[in-house]
Amino acid sequence: MKGQEFSSTQDYVASEQLMASVNVAIALKKPLLIKGEPGTGKTMLAEAVARSLGKRLIIWNIKSTTKAQDGLYMYDTIQRLYDGQFGEEGVDDIAHYIKLGKLGEAFEAEEQVVLLIDEIDKADLEFPNDLLWELDQMEFYIHETKRTVKAKQRPIVIITSNAEKELPDAFLRRCIFHYIDFPDEQLMEEIVRTHYPDVEDHLLKNAMEVFYNIRSLRDIRKKPSTSELIDWINALQIGGISADQIRAKLPFIGVVVKKDEDLETVRQKLD
């Protein structure tokens, strides 16, 4: 395990616990399940892990229509049917029409890769269960060509979830779990500073104060997240806003608060 350890990178600040979770997951060869509020850097983590370990990152973005099969391989029947009509070359070779999905790609890679299965909870309820065998054994079988795709190097699997749906127990049992807390002000300051090392102290302090104030409002529908704070600070810097105006005028507040109703609430409550 030594020499293969993940640590904070130049532009990603990971808490000690998070680093430990990543390293344990790697050592135990289990998928790491990351949960947390939107914007706490779940997706960024995989990028940071890949960079820190010097490995290639393969991202499998999950949508509501994604099926487990999509990650393994696709058999393009329709293309084959069309091609068959005109007797195109290679129609008799099914392998021609088999395209590996992201999971297949990760298995086939010669070197060890980092596989990010992003927002697994977006998919159908049964989706995680359909991947149990593949993630356990790191192999799958292509019926059409009677070929087994087996991982050459077991990929480091990182799975993120926004907790939109409960994930099945059988799936959870196989994962290492880490919940990313929303960063407290101290950690937040550090995170902002890794993005903008030159940010002015006064500006940062005022912006963060407003930001945590907004987050603490009850009626806010969508709480602003880390990434929104970072964007806001960037906007404030570029706009050359002086630190004293932040509280009074809430400049570019649309970067932080995205919903109309929320904007109204913020203006009312913070004025």
Candidates 10, 54, 85, 92; binder of other proteins (CB under 8 A) is 85
Sign of CA dihedral 210, 212, 215, 217: negative
Q: Are 236 and 207 in contact, with CB atoms under 8 Å apart?
A: yes
End-to-end CA distance of the chain, in Å? 54
Judging by DSSP bridges, how do beta strands 98-100 and 113-118 pair with one another? Answer: unpaired
Short-list 146, 131, 133, CA closest to 101: 131
Part in contact with other proteins (CB under 8 A); list of ranges 39-47, 80-88, 241-249, 251-259: 80-88
- Report if residue 177 touches other proteins, rule: CB under 8 A: yes
- Report if residue 24 touches other proteins, rule: CB under 8 A: yes
Site residues (CB under 8 A) for other proteins, limited to 35-64: 35
Short-list 264, 262, 237, 261, CA closest to 251: 237
- Report if residue 99 touches other proteins, rule: CB under 8 A: no
- Report if residue 17 touches other proteins, rule: CB under 8 A: yes
Site residues (CB under 8 A) for other proteins, limited to 157-176: 162-165, 167, 169, 172-176
CB of 179 to other proteins, least distance (A): 4
CB of 123 to other proteins, least distance (A): 13
Q: Which is nearer to other proteins, 13 or 103 (CB)?
A: 13
As a whole number of angstroms, the distance between CA 15 and CA 7 comes to: 9
Sign of CA dihedral 46, 51, 53, 59: positive
- Report if residue 132 touches other proteins, rule: CB under 8 A: no
Instruction: Give Dmax over CA atoms of the chain in angstroms.
Output: 73
Residues that bind other proteins (CB under 8 A): 1, 13, 15-17, 20-21, 23-24, 27-28, 30, 33, 35, 65, 78, 81-82, 85, 125, 162-165, 167, 169, 172-179, 181, 183-184, 186-187, 190, 218
